[in-house]
Structure 1
Amino acid sequence: MPIKNLRFLYLLLAFYSLSIYSQIDTGHSIVSIHKISEKIDKNFIGIKVDLDDGWHTYWKNPGDAGGPIIVKILSPEKVNIKKIYFPPPELIPYEPLMTYGYKEEVLFPIEIESTHLIDEDTVFDFEVNLLICEDVCIPESAVFSLKYSEFIATDETTEWLKTIPDITYPVLTFINNENNTLDMKFSGIDEISDVYFFPENENIFNYAAKQKLSYDGKNYLLEINIDEISNINSQTLLTGLLKINDGYYKVKSSPKVLETLESNSILKMLLFAFIGGLILNLMPCVFPVISLKVLSMVKMGGESKSKIISHSLIFSIGVVISFLAIAALVTYLRSTGEMIGWGFQLQSPYVVSILSSLMIIIGFVLLLDINLGLSLTRLGSSTNNSSLFSSFSTGVLAVIVASPCTAPFMGAAIGYALLESSSSTYPIFLSLSIGFAFPYILLALKPSLIQKLPKPGNWMNVFKEFMAFPMFATAIWLLWVFSLQVSTNSLIELILIWFLIGILFWLTSKTNNQIIKLVSILIVLISIFAQTININNEITKTSSDQSKSNDYVLWNQTIEDDLVSNNKSFFINYTAAWCITCQANEKIALSSLKVQNYFKSQDITYLKADWTNKSPEILESLKKYGRTGVPLYIYWEPSMSEPRVLPAILTEKIIFDYL
C-alpha cells in the first residue's frame, strides 16, 4: 500500500478514536461536552472550549471580525437546540479593529428540548464549528458521537450559567444624528469606574470607536458611535449587554430620535400631563371627593364673588402644593437610589390602612351629619362654618385618593417625569396639578359660572348622605388591597378599628357634650396609630402575584426574552390591586371571554405583572417602556420590530384594534 494512503488511513483512525470521547483537540483548542452533575437535569448541556495561549474565539456578535460558535445535534432526531447561552465577552482589540470574545476558556451552556426520553445510553452526535484566531484565523471543528453517560459530569455548566445576566437594566436610548451616536441614558449607580455596551445587533455600531461616559449629577450618558452606513431608526429594537464595573446587565430598548425628543417631548409631556390631570377629575377614585367639593360650591351660589374666588383658589393651591410635594418626595427618594413609580405609596400597607380608616371616618361624618370641628373631614359640608382650610384640605385629600387612578395621557407624562431629571419632574407635576385644579381655577376667574350649577335645596343633604356610600365602598376596596399585603391578624385588627370608629361616631351623634366628642376623636386617632404600628413584622407576601390561573402566566424577568427567542406572541398586563383603572380594565376587557378566547386562538401568551407590593424587577421593566406606574399594556408578535403600547383605558374593541 502506498505511504500516502497509509498516512491518510492513520489520520482517519486518529480522528475516529478522538471523536468517540467527550473531548477533542481541534488544533488550537480542546472542545469538550459537559452535563450538569449536581442534579438530574437533561435540559442543559455544555460545550467547553479550552484555548491555546494567545488564541481566542468569539461572542454572538463578534464585532468587526470573526464569527460565533455553531453547534448542531445530528442525532437523536427528536432532540433540538432551544438556545445557546453566550457568557459575557471581553474586548479583544486588533488594531484598527475591535472584536468581542473569549480567551483561555469558555463554556457555552446549551438548552435542549426533546420529545425523546434521554437516558444514560442515549447516543448523541454533535458537530461543533468555531473560528479561532491569533494573528490568523482558523476555522476548526469537532464531531462527537457518544452516549449521554460519557458526557463530562461537573458543576461547570451550572457555574457558567450563573454568569449569564438575567436582569434587564432600565435605560433610555436616543439617536443623536448631529453627533452620529447612540446616546444611552441610565442611573441608579453611585460610582462607575468601567462601563461598556456590547451590542447584539450587528452592522449598526462603530466597534473600534471609544464609548464616552458623562454624568450630569443625576443621570449617566454613554455615547456609542454609530457606523456611517447603519440603518438604525426608531423601529430598531436594540439588545445587548451593559457592563458596569464588574457586573453585566441585559439591555433592551427602542431608541428615539434625539432632535424630536428634545425639541418637542417636554412640551408634549406637559400637554399630556395637563389633559391627564383634567380627566383625572372624572376617575372613580377621585369622583366622591370632587363631588363633595362641587356640593360645597353649590351652597355658595348666593354668596359673594370674593368668597367663591377665595375658596376655588385655596382648593387649587391645596392641589398644586400636594402634587409638588409628591414631586419633591419622588426626587428625594430617587436621589437616595430608590426606584419608585406612580402610586408607590399604596404599596405600603401602612398608607393603605390609614387611608381606609380615613374613608370610613369621612363616610360616617357624611351619613350622620356630625360636626366634629375638623375641617378636613367636614369637606365643606356646612356652609355656615366652612373655612378656607376646609377647601385646602379637600384639595390635599383629592390628590391623596387620586393615587390609585391613572387617566388617559397621564402614564406617558408621569413616566417621563420620573425617568428624567428633576428639571423635568417639577414642571410635569405642576402641569398635572393645574389640569386637575383647572375647573376650580376657571371658577375663580369667572365666579358667575357657579350660577350654572343647580340651585341649593334639600336635595343637597340627601346627596351628601348618599356620598357616604362611595366612601364606604372605597374603604372596602382598600381593605381588599390591605388583605393582599399583610397577614390575617393585621386584617382583623383593621376591621376591629372600623368597628370601634362606628361605635364612637354613633355615641358622638347622640350627645352634644364636647368633652365626649374630643375623647372619642382621641380614642379613634390613638387606635388607628396603634393598629398601624402593629402592622410591623406582620407584612407577608400574600399578594395576588402568588395566585395561579389558567388564563394567564405570571410575569418574570426572563420570560419576554424567552418568548421573543421562540417567536411567541405575548400580551403583558402590568397591574396592581390598588389601581382602580387596572381593575376596571380587567373586568371590562381583559377578562371577557372574547378576549381570552382570542388570546388562545392566536397563541398569544397572556402575562400578568402584579405590582400590588413593591417589586424592583417590575419597576425596571416598566421603565424599559418609558413608564413608572400602572396600568401598562404591552403587545408583541414576531412581525414587530418593537413591542406596541396600548392605551391606559381598555375596551374589547380597543384590544382587537391594536392586536
Structure 2
Amino acid sequence: MKRYASLAVVLLGAVTLGLTATPPAKAQEAQTPWTKAGPVEARLVSSVRGTGDLTALPLGLELRLEPGWKTYWRSPGDAGFAPRLDWTGSMNLKDAALSYPAPHRFSVLGFETAGYDVEALFPIRATPAEPGKPVDLTLNAELLVCSEICVPQNFKLALALPAGPADPSESANDVARAQALVPRQDNGLLTVDAVRASGAALEVEATAAEGFVSPDVFVETDPPLSFSAPKTVFLDNDRRVRMTLQMTDAPQGLDLAGRALTLTLVDGARAVEAPATAVPGVGAASGGLAAMLGVALLGGLILNLMPCVLPVLSLKLLSVVKQGGRAPRAVRAGFLASAAGILTSFLLLASALVAVKAAGGAVGWGIQFQQPLFLVFMVVLVTLFSANLWGLFEVPLPRALADRLDGDGLAGPFATGAFATLLATPCSAPFLGTAVGFALAKGPLEVFAIFAALGVGLASPYLLVAAWPRVAGWLPRPGRWMATLRVVMGFALALTALWLLSVLTVQIGGAAAVGVGLLMLGLVAALGIGRRLPAAGRRAGPALAGLLAVAAFVLPAAVGPSAAPVTESAARWVPFSEAAIREQVAAGRSVFVDVTADWCITCQANKKLVLNRGAVAARFDDPALIAMRADWTRPDEAIARFLADHGRYGIPFNIVYGPGAPQGIALPELLGEAAVIEALDRAAGAQRTAARP
C-alpha cells in the first residue's frame, strides 16, 4: 500500500509539473525574439509552423525603427545601402530571395533616398534543399540605419522550422500583407504608359483607374544613376499624371534615350513595377501644354466667381453702369482696357515668379500676400480707391494708381483690371491649381503661356462685352443715382481694407496693424480736409496724405514680425510637421492636414462653412484623428516643399492620411462636408497591425 502511495505521489508530481511548466509558445515556434541594435530591432518570422511539403517557405525579416530613423530600399538613391543578408550556417536551405515592399522617398538637403521608417517587413521566399525535412535558418543581416547620422547595424538571427504540418502562424497575415505591398508588373491598378527621355531628363506618363492621390516614381538603371524627385502634373481629373525627373550630376552629353530602365510607380498602398526603354522625347510636352492652356483658361474664368474677386465688383459694377448710353466704340475701348490691365498684371506676376524660381526661392500662387510691404501697398491702394469713390480726390494722371473712374480715359479701366488681378491672387479656383502647378513645374515658356491663359480667362467677361458692345445699351443710363452707388461701393472697398489689415495683424502684430489703420484714417481725413481748403492750400491735403502713406510703408520695417496669436478656434489643431504625419499613421491614427493662410479667402470660407461646423467639426474631436494645420500666412520653406511634393503651388490644400491611405487623399480646393467625411472614412479604413512586444 505504501508503494502505491509513493507511486501516486510521483504521478501527481509529474502531472503538476506538466500543468505548471510553460510550454513553448506557438508564436515562438515561428518567429525569433526581437533583437535590438541601436535605434532598430529585428526578428525573423515564418508564415508556417512546419515545413510540410512546401517547396518554398514564406518568411519575413521584420524591423522596428525608433522615430526619426530610416533604412533603405534595394536602390537606396543618393546614399545608403540595401539590407545585406548572409545565410551561411543554415541547414537544408537551397536559396532565400528577399523582396522589397514599395518604398517612400526621403528628401534631405537636396539628396534623394528611398526606404522605410517606423517599421518594415521584407518578405523572404526560402527554398529548402529537401522539401518536407526540417530547416534550420541562420541569418546574419547587416542594415544601414540613418537619422542625422548613419550607423551600420548587424543582427544574427536563428529560426528552426520542424518537419510537420505547414499550419499558418500568427505572422502569416503580416507576411501576406507585406508581400501584397511588393510592386509587381501589370497589377491592373496603375499603368506606366510612356517613358520619354531628353538628354538627362525623363518624362513618365501613367494612369490610375481610380485616380492618383500622391504618386511617386523610382528609377533604376544599370549602372545606377541618381534622379531628382519628380515634378508631377495631374491630368484628366487626377486619373493621369505626367512626372518629370532630372538626373543629378549627369555627365556632359549623356542621353537617356534608348536606355533600359526599371520604374517603380507608387501611389499609397498601390504600386507597380514596369520595365521600360526610354524613347526620345522631342516635342513630348507640346500636347500637354495645349491641353493645360485650356485648363488655365477655364480656371481663370471660374476665378471671376471666387470670393477673392468679390471686393472688386464695386469697380466692375461702376465701370459697367457708366457704359449705359455710350457709343459702341467707346464701350469696346473701355472693356478692352480692363482686359489689358488683367492680362498685363498676370504677365508681370509670371515674370516675378520666373525670377524668384531662377533665384532658388519658393514659388506659389498668392505668395506675395506673405510679405508685409505688399499688404501695406494693398491697404494704401484700396484706401485710395475708396477715397476716390467718395469724391475726396480726382487725379487724372496715370502715375496715380487710382485714375478717374468717371472719365472717358482708358487708364481707369486699365487700373480696374490690374486691381482685380491683385485681389484675385489669394484665391485658388477649380482648375487653377492644376494649371499653376503644371506651369511652375516647367520652364519660363510654360509659365508665361499658362499665366497668359489665366489672364484671358479672368478677362473673358470684359472681352465678351467688347465683342458685343450693344450689351451695354441694355444698362440704365448714368444719373444722380450713381453718386449714391459710388459711396456704397467705396464702403465695400473699405471693408476690403479692413480684411487686409486683419491679415497684416498676423504679419506685424496687432499694435502695428492698428497703427497702419490709423494712418489710413488720417490719409482719408487729409484728402477730405484738403478738398475743402482754398485753391492755394488744396495741395496740402494730398501732400500730407502722401506722407502718411510713406509712414505706413515704414511702420512694418520698424516694428518687424511678431508671433501670431493663438485663437480659441485653433485649439484643436496641432502645428504642421511632415515627420509627425508618418508617426501618427504608423500609430493607427488619421491625420487631416489643412494648408491655409489668413490671406486666403477660400481657405477662410472652407473653415467657416465646412471645417469648423457640423459633422466635420465633431469628427475632429475624435482622439484617433489628428487635425494638423500648416499656416502659410508667412513664408515657410517646409510648407512650400510639402505643397511642391504634391504638385501644388497654391492654397487651399487639404489632404487626409491614415492607415487606409498612408500616402494621403487630396481634397478639392472648395471643400464639401460629404467629401471630407468620405476621405476621413477611407483613410481610417485599414487598421494598423497591433504593436507586438
Q: Specify the code of the residue in structure 1 equivalent to 2:451.
A: F
1:543–1:612 Cα contact (<8 Å) kept: no
Q: Report the alpha carbon displacement of residue 489 of structure 1 after superposing the two structures with TM.
A: 4.7
1:272 to 277, 292, 295: 295
**3-state SS of paired residue (1:337):** coil
Instruction: Give the alignment partner of residue 141 of structure 1, picking from 136, 141, 157.
Output: 157
Task: Look up the match of 2:69.
Answer: 85
Q: Match of 2:637, as an amino acid? A: P
Q: Judging changes above 3 Å, is the alpha-carbon distance between structure 1 residues 282 and 33 closer, same or farther for their aligned structure 2 residues?
A: closer
1:318 corresponds to which of 330, 333, 341: 341
Q: SS at the partner of 2:559?
A: coil
Alignment match of 1:575 (pick from 590, 596, 599): 596
Tell me, what secondary structure is at the counterpart of 1:397?
Answer: helix
1:453 — aligned with what?
Answer: 475
Distance 1:201 1:489, change over 3 A: closer
Could you say if the C-alpha distance between residues 619 and 175 of structure 1 is closer, same or farther in structure 2, counting changes exceeding 3 Å?
Answer: farther
CA distance 1:423–1:301, shift in 2 (3 Å): same
Do residues 398 (structure 1) and 420 (structure 2) align?
A: yes
Confirm or deny: 8 A CA contact 1:366 1:378 kept in the other structure.
no
Question: In the superposition, relative to structure 1, how do residues 374 and 590 fare at CA in structure 2: closer, same or farther (>3 Å)?
Answer: farther
CA contact (8 A) 1:272 1:413 kept: yes
Paired letter, 2:433: G
2:485 equivalent to 1:503: no
State the 1:496 CA deviation. Answer: 2.8
109 and 378 in structure 1: CA distance in 2 versus 1, 3 angstrom threshold? closer
Task: Give the match for residue 303 of structure 1.
Answer: 326
Letter paired with 2:246: Y
| Aligned CA-pair RMSD | 4.5
Paired position in structure 2 for 1:281: 304
Residue matched to 1:444: 466
Equivalence map 1:220-299=2 (5 Å): 220-221=246-247, 232=265, 262=285, 265-299=288-322
CA distance change for structure 1 residues 486 and 214 in 2, over 3 Å: closer, same or farther?
Answer: closer
Q: Is contact 1:214–1:220 with CA below 8 Å preserved after alignment?
A: yes
2:440 aligned partner, one-letter code: L
DSSP 3-state at the match of 2:593: strand
Show CA shifts across 1:253-306 (max 9, x none). Answer: xxxxx9999465433432222122112223333223243233223222222221
Match of 1:584 among 602, 605, 621: 605
Q: In the alignment, is the contact (CA less than 8 A) between 1:312 and 1:440 conserved in 2?
A: yes
Aligned match of 1:471 in 493, 513, 535? 493
Within the alignment, does 1:628 sit opposite 2:618 as a pair?
no
Contact persistence 2:83–2:142 (CA under 8 A): no
> 2:83–2:141: 8 Å Cα contact kept in structure 1?
no
CA distance, structure 1, for counterparts of residue 660 and residue 300 of structure 2: 36
Which letter does structure 2 place at the counterpart of 1:635? V
- Checking the alignment, whether the CA contact within 8 Å between 1:70 and 1:130 is kept in structure 2 is no
- The structure 1 residue matched to 2:633, chosen from 599, 608, 612, is 612
TM-aligned CA distance change 1:286 to 1:374, over 3 Å: farther
Aligned residue type for 2:156: E
Q: Secondary structure of the equivalent of 2:620? A: helix
Letter paired with 1:275: L
> 2:398 matched to 1:381?
no
- Summarize deviations over 1:231-265 as a string: whole Å, max 9, x none: 746666689xxxxxxxxxxxxxxxxxx99994654
Query: Are 1:462 and 2:484 matched, yes or no?
Result: yes
Distance 2:191 2:393 in 1: 58
Residues of 2 paired with 1:279 and 1:433: CA distance?
11
Q: Matched residue of 2:483: which SS?
A: helix
Q: CA deviation at 1:212?
A: 6.2
Contact 2:528 2:541 in 1 (8 A): no
Instruction: Answer yes or no: is the 8 Å Cα contact 1:380–1:391 preserved in 2.
Output: no
Query: What is the CA–CA distance in structure 2 between the aligned matches of 1:589 and 1:650, rounded to whole Å?
Result: 7
Please state whether the residue corresponding to 1:612 is helix, strand or coil: coil
Task: Quote the offset at 1:365 in angstroms.
Answer: 2.3
Q: CA-to-partner distance for each residue in 1:529-576, whole Å, 9 max, x for gaps?
A: 233124225322423579884422211131222233334222211100
Structure 1 residue 341, shift from structure 2 partner:
1.0
What is the aligned partner in structure 1 of residue 26 from structure 2?
Answer: none
After superposition, the Cα gap between the structure-2 partners of 1:522 and 1:180, relative to the gap in structure 1 and judged at 3 Å, is closer
Q: Report the AA paired with residue 301 of structure 2.
A: L
Deviation at 1:613, TM superposition (A): 0.3
The answer to whether structure 1 residue 367 and structure 2 residue 367 are counterparts is: no
Partner secondary structure for residue 324 of structure 2: helix
Mapping 1:167-178, distance limit 5 Å:
175=192, 177-178=194-195
In the TM superposition, residue 656 of structure 1 has moved relative to its aligned partner by 3.3
1:46·1:110 contact (CA, 8 Å) conserved in 2?
no
Please list the CA deviations of residues 19-59 of structure 1 after superposition, one character each: whole Å capped at 9, or x if unmatched. Answer: xxxxxxxxxxxx9856xxxxxxxxxx5679xxxxxxxxxxx
What stretches of structure 1 of length at least 5 have no aligned partner? 1-30, 35-44, 49-66, 73-80, 113-127, 144-172, 187-199, 240-257
Question: Is 1:346 matched up with 2:369?
Answer: yes
Counterpart of 2:670 (choices 649, 653, 656) is 649
Q: Which stretch of structure 1 is more off in the superposition, 552-561 or 516-525? A: 516-525
Amino acid at match of 1:141: L
Report the 3-state secondary structure (helix = DSSP H, G, I; strand = E; otherwise coil) of the residue aligned with 1:498.
helix
**Percent pairwise identity:** 24
Equivalent residue letter for 1:325: L
Q: TM-score, normalised by structure 2?
A: 0.63
User: Which whole-Å deviations, capped at 9, do the CAs of 1:310-365 have from their partners, x for residues lacking one?
Assistant: 11112111111110011011101110111121111110111111211222222222
* Counterpart residue number, 1:329: 352
Instruction: Give yes or no for contact 1:237–1:642 (8 Å, CA) kept in 2.
Output: no
User: Does structure 2 retain, via aligned residues, the 8 Å contact 1:273–1:431?
Assistant: yes
Give the CA deviation at 1:183. 7.0
Q: Structure 2 CA distance, aligned partners of 1:201 and 1:358?
A: 44
1:345-396 CA-to-partner distances (Å, cap 9, x unmatched) read 11011111121122222222223454244565655532xx331111212222
Partner Cα distance (1:292, 1:465) in 2: 12
SS at match of 1:430: helix
Residue type matched to 1:584 in 2? A
Deviations along 1:462-507, whole A, 9 cap, x unmatched? 2221111221111111111111111455324313312311320220
Q: CA deviation at 1:614?
A: 0.4
Shift of the alpha carbon at 1:99? Answer: 5.9
What letter corresponds to residue 528 of structure 1 in structure 2?
A: A
Partner Cα distance (2:247, 2:574) in 1: 36
Pair 303,369 (structure 1): closer, same or farther in 2 beyond 3 Å? farther
> How far off is 1:598 after superposition?
2.4
CA–CA distance in structure 2, aligned partners of residues 583 and 184 of structure 1: 39
Distance 2:453 2:191 in 1: 25
8 Å contact kept, 2:405–2:412:
no
Count matched residues. 501
Structure-2 separation of matches of 1:558 and 1:494 = 39
CA contact (8 A) 2:523 2:548 kept: no
CA contact (8 A) 2:581 2:657 kept: no
SS of residue matched to 2:627: strand
Q: Distance in 1 between matches of 2:598 and 2:654?
A: 16
Report the counterpart of residue 429 of structure 2 in structure 1.
407
* Alpha-carbon distance between aligned partners in 2 of 1:84 and 1:347, rounded to the nearest angstrom: 31
Deviation at 1:226, TM superposition (A): 8.1
The residue aligned with 2:507 is: 485
Distance across 2 between alignment mates of 1:399 and 1:32: 59
Paired residue secondary structure (1:558): helix
Distance 1:183 1:612, change over 3 A: same
Classify 1:326/1:320 alpha carbon distance in 2 versus 1 (closer, same or farther; 3 Å).
Answer: same
CA offset at residue 424 of structure 1? 1.2
Alignment partner, residue 535 of structure 1: 556
Q: Deviations over 1:135-165 (max 9, x none)?
A: xxx972399xxxxxxxxxxxxxxxxxxxxxx
